[in-house]
Structure 1
Amino acid sequence: MRDPDLTQIDPSRHLLIAGPTASGKSALALAVARAQGGLVVNADALQVWSCWRVLTARPTTADEAMAPHALYGHVAPGRSYSVGDWLREVQELTGRRLIVVGGTGLYLTALTRGLARIPPTPPDLRAAADARLRQEGGLEGMVRDLDDATRARIDLQNPARVQRAWEVLQATGRGIADWQAETPPPLMAPDDCQRVLITTDRDWLADRIAMRFRAMLDWGALDEVRAMLPVWDPQAQWAKAIGAPELVEHLQGRLTLPEATERAIISSRQYAKSQRIWFRGRMKDWHLWRAGNAGVHPLPES
């Protein structure tokens, strides 16, 4: 294993590490924490769920023994969890140097640019929105209901974004674009932190994603999914873990394990593509860090 070159990392500031799935973020964060000190803080929306350790490539128990970690696997299935919840929890940790690492662009952008304080969606409205979205033409109907400013601003092909915007409009009478115009200052301004974005060769990353998912199966990912099968709800937040829907289809007899594996690998690669699009569009001022600089580390790592 080759140690990463940390000479470019400022130990006196908070460090933010972003990058696509399987690019080596967690390995770099752990190396920094061991060499310079700091609390490793999760910024991956899938790694918060207590039911997924292997499937979401959370740090291993051995990793956690080498440096302090926070906000990993601390949310039980059945709860709702938002970027606002995550920001509030991060704020409680800022009395020490943080090494915030993950691939959820919305979390990292909210941390560095601020997040509009939008009232939470009432549970009955959320249930109604879930039901409408499942109906034929539900997404298109929600899009039509949105105000013009919001419709021009959000990704209309993303059901989660459209539903959230629709819920906000129904609950508050104001479009989400209007709320976002009142965004408060960020928790971590640029001068307060160093921001590193891991970049990779696309083919290298595609191969690594495939190797990692197959390794996850060896380490018990299928058992994790089997344990959640009795309460499986494809609409639940925790059920969005990459690979979980495909492995459920295998356990329910609709796919062979090789078929499920291949589909999960494709889903992971598509997820990495969407991450790169977010990073290019919203994180252009981050310092680029080639994946090789993080060292060559054994799987798993996020």
Structure 2
Amino acid sequence: MRRRGLPPARRSLAHKPLAMINLPADRHVLIAGPTASGKSALALALAERQGGVIVNADAIQVYRCWRVLSARPSAEEEARAPHALYGFLDAGADYSVGQWLRDLAPLLRSGARLIVTGGTGLYFSALTEGLAEIPPVPDDIRAEARARRDEHGIAHLLAELDAETAARIDQANPARVLRAWEVLRATGRGLARWQAETGPPLLPLGEAVPLRVDAPRDWLAARIERRFDAMLAGGALDEVRALLPDWRPDLPAAKAIGAPELAAHLRGEMTLAEARARAVAATRRFAKRQRTWFRARMRDWTGVDARDL
């Protein structure tokens, strides 16, 4: 019996039932997918069944202030299997894909089987394809970039990029545009040129079992809405309230979806219902970008239908 809304030929080409996927216990596993698609639950199930260290590949789950709002594994879930790179940074700490690779490298060298899971596609591409060794951007240039963004808008920064970089980056992602501008300003070379000199990957794709969790749009939208309501019930407002005295829009942890909306509610700028609606809408837009990115960049990964998990 096929699922409604997905032609049988397409589903058979795109996905495999999880039970039919070869998951040798001595191979690292990569699990990528959009937010709310069930990645963490799958990672935990595999770790409990076969062993392994679950490693975070989500750029927001690194912040200790957001256990609920980032859907980080609960304390009870963390007690059921080893977890790494979750909730270890202060809200004001910058964190890059390069630093993530440096933090992950000792785990690879340890000999443990890793189950790397998350929704930050750039982490996975850097891990399996390599990452250019770009010099650190000085703090004064970071400050200049943010000042120019705030005064003129992200389109102004995009217009100043070299043509090769502008054609390659995700222009709809302000953080990517900001990063590209900082690199050009700091080094005099476009990000695309640095990326052309990418070194070997820490974990070549052929040495791992790569799983891409696919989720239909409407099914995922309903999950996102239910999960945000669960976050509200589970203490998300309290997490934002605790950060409110130090809140500023450029705070690294403020990138968490839902955080700006809940902060605005706590400041009396909108009702909780309005904050909820905006946060859910923002999460859906984010999931759409993730799904598009994964389809384009992870075609060779084994597809798993989120509805089968």
Which TM class, normalised by the smaller chain length? over 0.9
Task: Give the paired residue count.
Answer: 290
The reply on whether 1:203 has 2:218 as its aligned counterpart is yes
| Alignment CA distance shift 1:68-1:255 (3 Å) | same
> Matched residues in 1 for 2:41 and 2:122: separation?
22
Report deviation, 1:106: 0.7
Report deviation, 1:293: 2.8
The reply on whether 1:108 has 2:124 as its aligned counterpart is yes
* Contact 1:80/1:237 (<8 A) preserved: yes
| Alignment CA distance shift 1:5-1:182 (3 Å) | closer
Report deviation, 1:168: 0.7
1:123 is matched by which residue type in structure 2? D
* Contact 1:40/1:70 (<8 A) preserved: yes
In structure 2, the partner of 1:291 is: 306
In structure 2, the partner of 1:247 is: 262
* Contact 1:23/1:200 (<8 A) preserved: yes
> Matched residues in 2 for 1:164 and 1:7: separation?
41
> Matched residues in 1 for 2:210 and 2:171: separation?
29
Question: Which residue, 229, 239, 260 being the options, matches 1:214?
Answer: 229
2:107 match: secondary structure: coil
> Matched residues in 1 for 2:172 and 2:306: separation?
30
> Matched residues in 1 for 2:222 and 2:161: separation?
41
In structure 1, the partner of 2:83 is: 69
Question: Which residue, 133, 145, 156 being the options, matches 2:149?
Answer: 133
Question: Which residue, 38, 41, 44 being the options, matches 2:58?
Answer: 44
The reply on whether 1:32 has 2:32 as its aligned counterpart is no
Instruction: In structure 1, list runs of 5 or more residues that go unmatched.
Output: 295-302
In structure 2, the partner of 1:300 is: none
User: 1:59-208 counterparts in 2 under 5 A?
Assistant: 59-94=73-108, 95=110, 96-136=112-152, 138-208=153-223
> Matched residues in 1 for 2:19 and 2:105: separation?
26
> Matched residues in 2 for 1:32 and 1:158: separation?
33
Q: Deviations over 1:4-61 (max 9, x none)?
A: 9555222221000011111100000000000000000000001000110000000001
2:181 match: secondary structure: helix
What TM-score do the two structures reach when normalised by structure 2?
Answer: 0.91
What TM-score do the two structures reach when normalised by structure 1?
Answer: 0.93
User: 1:265-284 counterparts in 2 under 5 A?
Assistant: 265-284=280-299
Give percent identity, aligned residues only: 59
